[in-house]
Amino acid sequence: MSDQHGCDMVLLVQAEFDGELDAAQAARLSAHRSECAVCQAAGTDLARARALVRPELYQPAPDDLRERVLARLRTAGEASAPQRRGQRRFAGWRPPAFGFGLGAACAAAVMLLVLSPAEQSLTEQVVAGHVRALQPGHLEDVPSTDQHTVKPWFDGRLDFAPPVRDLAGAGFPLKGGRLDYIGGRPVAALVYQRDKHIIDLFIWPAGSTTAPAPIGSERNGYNVVHWVQDGMNFWAVSDVEQNQLRDFSAVWRHAS
């Protein structure tokens, strides 16, 4: 099979194969491929891979699982009607049993030692969240420079009320907010602008109210500053300079 490093266009060949190329890219690829043996071979390999992964390999939910899920939802619905949402509702839920599956689960877990999202530090997760949000159309769910529009938007979407501040006066105008998912829970993300750069501020409730000094770090070229304030975790991520991000953190912490 062709070498991944044989030609840096093979991922484009694959993207075309998967219907992910636009017309301009496809035309560029077409011109290249007519004279690249590696890319021609890649096309053959892609077709062979797809032929191997046949639709019969799909594993739909067994009927009894569907019934158990339905039964569980009915129980949960009845039991929780007068309650607020929360973990208590599921007190009767049988913890997952890993009887015969344990061996397979262990085998899979060994692989996780190499690359596990669960192992990813929060720093990596917030950077990943930031990078993902920079994809077109992903930055804000509620684009607004008005904190009085952004803050109520989170009502009913999160089980906490994130603080929202516009720092335009300090050179960090608010652009909007969105929901994100960090550390296994939904979190608030506020979007700020600094010149041409975007700063994401992720917020979720902290376990303690102690406020360590802001901790700065760098990951994949993105700077991250973390602090705890008023019982909330704050993670600011951006490609601005570390000292600018620390300024942002300081402005945030002292604005109220």
Ranges within 77-96 binding other proteins (CB under 8 A): 85-87, 90, 93, 96
Cβ neighbours around 20 below 10 Å, total: 11
Residue 251 structure tokens: 């402005």
Binding region for other proteins (CB under 8 A) out of 27-35, 59-67, 226-234, 235-243: 59-67
Within positions 4 to 23, which residues make up the interface with other proteins, using CB under 8 A?
4, 10-11, 14-15, 18, 20
What sign for the dihedral angle of Cα 76, 79, 85, 90? negative
Is 28 an interacting residue with respect to other proteins (CB under 8 A)?
no
Give all strands (DSSP E) within 117-161, no chain letters.
Answer: 142-143
Within positions 142 to 161, which residues make up the interface with other proteins, using CB under 8 A?
156-159
Is 72 an interacting residue with respect to other proteins (CB under 8 A)?
yes
Is 57 an interacting residue with respect to other proteins (CB under 8 A)?
yes
Residue 9 near residue 31, CB atoms below 8 Å: no
Binding region for other proteins (CB under 8 A) out of 3-11, 192-200, 207-215, 235-243: 3-11
Residue 138 structure tokens: 């992903």
Residue 240 near residue 146, CB atoms below 8 Å: no
Q: Which is nearer to other proteins, 60 or 169 (CB)?
A: 60
Is 49 an interacting residue with respect to other proteins (CB under 8 A)?
yes
- Minimum gap (Å) between residue 97 Cβ and other proteins: 6
- What 203-210 contacts at long range (C-beta under 8 Å, 24+ apart), as own/partner pairs, is 203/162, 203/163, 203/232, 203/233, 203/234, 203/235, 204/160, 204/162, 204/232, 204/233, 205/160, 205/231, 205/232, 205/233, 206/231, 206/232, 206/233
Is 184 an interacting residue with respect to other proteins (CB under 8 A)?
yes
- Minimum gap (Å) between residue 33 Cβ and other proteins: 16
**Taking Cα atoms as reference points, which of 34, 35, 42, 38 lies closest to residue 17?**
42
Q: Which is nearer to other proteins, 61 or 168 (CB)?
A: 61
Q: Give the residue, chosen from 26, 37, 73, 215, that forms a contact with other proteins under the rule CB under 8 A.
A: 73
Q: Which residue's structure tokens are 């739909």?
A: 60
Q: Which is nearer to other proteins, 101 or 212 (CB)?
A: 101
Q: Which residue's structure tokens are 């909330």?
A: 232
Measured between alpha carbons, how far is 50 from 153 in angstroms, rounded to an integer? 44
Q: Give the residue, chosen from 23, 34, 99, 221, that forms a contact with other proteins under the rule CB under 8 A.
A: 99
Is 37 an interacting residue with respect to other proteins (CB under 8 A)?
no
Within positions 118 to 137, which residues make up the interface with other proteins, using CB under 8 A?
118-119, 125, 128-129, 131-132, 135
Is 26 an interacting residue with respect to other proteins (CB under 8 A)?
no
